[in-house]
C-alpha cells in the first residue's frame, strides 16, 4: 500500500508538471484574486458586457464557481443538503452530487468553493465533510467528516473553507481542542498528519494558502485568534501570530479573508474594526515580525488584491456599509478611502479591478490608481436573490457572477478569437 501511494503521489506531481495543477480554485491560481486573462475590454457598454449564460436553480449559495476545460463547477444548498453541480458553458447539467449536510443554524447558503486538480475535485461541506470527487462523473471517491472525527469547534457560521492542496495532501482546518490543521492523503483520504491544537481557538472562515519563501514552504491558515504557519510535510506549527491581542478592539475576530502574500510579506485583514496587519517573514521563514498596521482597511469578507505595489479592497463601517480603500503595500499609507455604493468583493485581471458591490449588486470596472477611485464602467445584477456575497471570477475572457441560485457569464473579451492567459 505504501508503494502504491508513492506511485500515485508521483502521478499527481506529473499532472502538476503537465499543467493540471490546482489552478481552478478559490480566487484564482494564486488564491490572491489575480486572474491571468489578457485582452479584456477596457470599457463596458452602458448596459454592461454581453450576457452569454444565465443558469437558474443551482441551489442557494455564496460560493465562487470555478471552471476547468469548459465545465463549470459550483456548489449550492437545496433544502438541508449541499450539492456540487457540473455544467457546460451553455448551461447543460453534466452531473450533480450531494457533498454533505448544509449549515442550517443561520446564513445557511453554501460557502465552500471547489478545488480542482487533474481528474479530481476536492470540496468541503458547510458542516465539515471533506469530499474527493471524480471530475468526469461526479462519483465520490472518498469522504471524511473532519468536524466529527477531530472534534472541531464551529465559530458562529459553520465551516467556511475552500480546500487547499499540497503535492500529496488535502489540507483542512477542523480547529478545536484536538488539532488545528489536518492533511488527508489525496488518493484515499487517510490521515497523513494532524497539527497540535491551539487550545481554545475555534474555526475561522478564511481559506488557507500555501507560500514559498527562500525555499521554505508554509501553509498559512487562520483560526478565530491566530494566523499560523504550518509545515506542509509534517503538520508542525512553525510559528503563530495572535490576531486578537492589540488587533481586535472589541475582542472579536471573524477572520474571513485568505492571507495575501508577496515577497516574504503577509497581509491579513478582517472586518468589525479589527486592525489589519502586515507581517514580515524572517530569512528562513521560521518566524514573523510586525511591519505595520492599518485601522482603515478592515475588509469584511470580500477579499483584497495587490496591484502594482498597492492593496485594493473595501472596508467595514458596519454590516451594511463600507468604503473602497487603497493602501501602500510597503508602508500601509492610506492613498484613498472613497464611497462607491457599498462594500463588496474585488478581483483583478489584465491590469484592471473588478468590483462586485454586495448590497444592490453593482459590478464595477475600476482603474487601479493610488491617486483616487477611478470607475470606468458599471452595471447592475438584476437576477437572483439575497446578498451579493459570492466573489466573482474570470475564465477564458468570461466574467462569472453568482447571485443566490443564479449563475451568470458575461463576455468581457475585446475579441473572442484573441483570448490569452499566462
**pLDDT tens, 380-389?**
999 999 999 9
Q: What is the pLDDT of residue 248?
A: 87
Q: pLDDT tens digits, residue range 270-315?
A: 999 999 999 999 999 999 999 999 999 999 999 999 999 999 999 9
For the chain, the average pLDDT equals 93
Beta bridge pairs of residue 216 = 213
CA dihedral 132, 138, 140, 144 (to 10 degrees): 40
344-349/352-357 β-pairing: antiparallel
> Residue 186 domain-assigned?
no
pLDDT interval class at 361 (50, 70, 90): very high
Q: Residue 347 belongs to what domain range? A: 41-56+296-422
Q: What is the CA 166 to chain-centroid distance, rounded?
A: 16
> Residue 208 domain-assigned?
no
Distance (Å, whole) CA 310 – CA 323: 16
> Residue 181 domain-assigned?
no
Give the C-alpha distances (Å, rounded to integers) separating 85 from 16, 38, 59, 232, 331.
24, 28, 9, 30, 43
Q: pLDDT tens digits, residue range 115-171?
A: 999 999 999 999 999 999 999 999 999 999 999 999 998 888 889 999 999 999 999
> Residue 17 domain-assigned?
no
Q: What is the pLDDT of residue 418?
A: 53
Which comes out higher in pLDDT, residue 17 or 149? 149
| Total number of domains constituting the chain | 1
Q: What is the pLDDT of residue 420?
A: 55
Q: What is the pLDDT of residue 364?
A: 98
Distance (Å, whole) CA 99 – CA 358: 27
Give the C-alpha distances (Å, rounded to integers) separating 228 from 31, 138, 196, 236.
17, 33, 11, 10
Can you tell me the mean pLDDT for 338-356? 98
> Residue 395 domain-assigned?
yes
Q: What is the pLDDT of residue 108?
A: 87
- Domain with 300 in it: what CATH number? 2.130.10.10
Q: pLDDT tens digits, residue range 180-192?
A: 999 999 999 999 9
Cell digits for 309? 505595489
Please determine, for residue 16, whether its predicted confidence score (pLDDT) is greater than 50.
no
Q: pLDDT tens digits, residue range 89-131?
A: 999 999 999 999 999 888 889 999 999 999 999 999 999 999 9
Which comes out higher in pLDDT, residue 7 or 98? 98
> Residue 238 domain-assigned?
no
| Helix, strand, or coil (residue 13) | helix
Closest CA to 402 of 141, 87, 30, 188: 87
DSSP state of 63: P
Q: What is the pLDDT of residue 250?
A: 72
Please determine, for residue 246, whether its predicted confidence score (pLDDT) is greater than 50.
yes
Can you tell me the mean pLDDT for 14-19? 38
Percent of the chain with pLDDT over 90: 88
Q: What is the pLDDT of residue 419?
A: 52
Q: pLDDT tens digits, residue range 64-83?
A: 999 999 999 999 999 999 99
Can you tell me the mean pLDDT for 337-349? 98
- Say if CB 381 and CB 401 are below 8 A apart: yes
Say which residues have a Cβ less than 8 Å from residue 160's Cβ, sequence separation at least 6.
111, 112, 126, 205, 256
pLDDT interval class at 61 (50, 70, 90): very high
Please determine, for residue 9, whether its predicted confidence score (pLDDT) is greater than 70.
no
> Residue 28 domain-assigned?
no
Please determine, for residue 23, whether its predicted confidence score (pLDDT) is greater than 90.
no
- Say if CB 265 and CB 291 are below 8 A apart: yes
Neighbours of 338 (CB within 10 A): 12
pTM of model > 0.95: no
Give the C-alpha distances (Å, rounded to integers) separating 26 from 40, 197, 206, 391.
21, 26, 11, 9
Can you tell me the mean pLDDT for 408-418? 89
Please determine, for residue 10, whether its predicted confidence score (pLDDT) is greater than 50.
no
DSSP sequence for 174-196: --BSS-S-EEEETTT--EEEEPP
> Residue 246 domain-assigned?
no
Q: What is the pLDDT of residue 210?
A: 97
Amino acid at each position: 500500500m505504501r508503494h502504491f501511494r508513492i506511485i500515485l503521489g508521483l502521478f499527481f506531481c506529473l499532472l502538476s508538471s503537465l499543467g493540471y495543477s490546482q489552478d481552478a480554485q478559490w480566487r484564482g491560481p494564486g488564491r490572491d484574486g489575480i486572474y491571468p486573462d489578457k485582452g479584456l475590454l477596457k470599457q463596458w457598454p452602458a448596459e454592461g458586457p454581453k450576457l452569454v449564460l444565465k443558469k437558474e436553480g443551482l441551489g442557494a449559495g455564496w460560493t465562487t464557481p470555478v471552471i476547468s476545460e469548459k465545465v463549470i463547477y459550483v456548489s449550492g444548498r437545496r433544502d438541508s443538503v449541499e450539492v456540487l453541480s457540473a455544467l457546460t458553458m451553455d448551461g447543460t447539467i453534466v452531473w450533480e452530487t450531494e457533498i454533505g449536510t448544509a449549515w442550517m443554524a443561520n446564513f445557511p447558503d453554501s460557502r465552500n468553493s471547489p478545488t480542482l486538480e487533474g481528474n479530481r475535485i476536492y470540496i468541503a461541506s458547510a458542516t465539515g465533510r471533506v469530499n474527493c470527487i471524480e471530475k468526469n462523473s461526479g462519483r465520490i471517491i472518498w469522504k471524511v467528516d473532519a468536524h466529527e472525527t477531530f472534534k472541531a469547534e464551529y465559530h458562529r457560521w459553520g465551516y467556511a473553507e475552500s480546500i487547499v492542496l499540497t503535492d500529496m495532501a488535502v489540507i483542512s482546518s477542523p480547529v478545536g481542542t484536538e488539532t488545528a490543521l489536518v492533511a488527508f492523503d489525496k488518493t484515499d483520504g487517510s490521515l497523513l498528519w494532524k497539527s497540535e491544537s491551539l487550545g481554545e481557538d475555534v474555526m475561522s472562515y478564511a481559506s488557507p494558502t500555501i507560500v514559498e519563501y527562500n525555499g521554505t514552504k508554509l501553509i498559512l491558515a487562520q483560526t478565530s485568534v491566530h494566523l499560523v504557519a504550518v509545515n506542509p510535510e509534517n503538520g508542525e506549527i512553525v510559528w503563530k501570530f495572535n490576531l486578537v491581542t492589540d488587533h481586535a478592539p472589541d475582542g472579536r475576530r471573524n477572520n474571513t479573508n485568505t492571507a495575501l502574500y508577496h515577497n516574504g510579506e503577509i497581509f491579513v485583514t478582517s472586518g468589525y474594526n479589527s486592525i489589519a496587519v502586515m507581517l514580515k517573514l524572517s530569512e528562513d521563514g521560521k518566524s514573523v515580525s510586525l511591519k505595520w498596521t492599518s485601522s482603515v482597511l478592515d475588509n469584511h469578507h470580500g477579499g483584497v488584491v495587490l496591484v502594482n505595489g498597492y492593496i485594493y479592497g473595501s472596508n467595514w463601517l458596519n454590516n451594511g456599509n463600507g468604503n473602497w480603500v487603497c493602501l501602500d503595500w510597503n508602508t500601509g499609507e492610506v492613498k484613498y478611502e472613497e464611497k462607491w455604493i457599498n462594500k463588496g468583493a474585488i478581483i483583478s485581471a489584465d491590469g484592471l479591478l473588478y468590483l462586485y458591490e454586495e448590497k444592490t449588486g453593482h459590478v464595477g470596472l475600476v482603474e487601479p490608481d493610488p491617486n483616487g477611485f477611478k470607475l470606468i464602467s458599471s452595471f447592475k445584477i438584476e437576477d437572483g436573490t439575497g446578498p451579493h456575497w459570492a466573489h466573482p471570477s474570470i475564465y477564458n475572457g468570461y466574467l462569472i457572477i453568482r447571485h443566490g441560485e443564479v449563475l451568470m457569464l458575461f463576455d468581457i473579451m475585446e475579441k473572442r478569437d484573441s483570448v490569452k492567459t499566462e
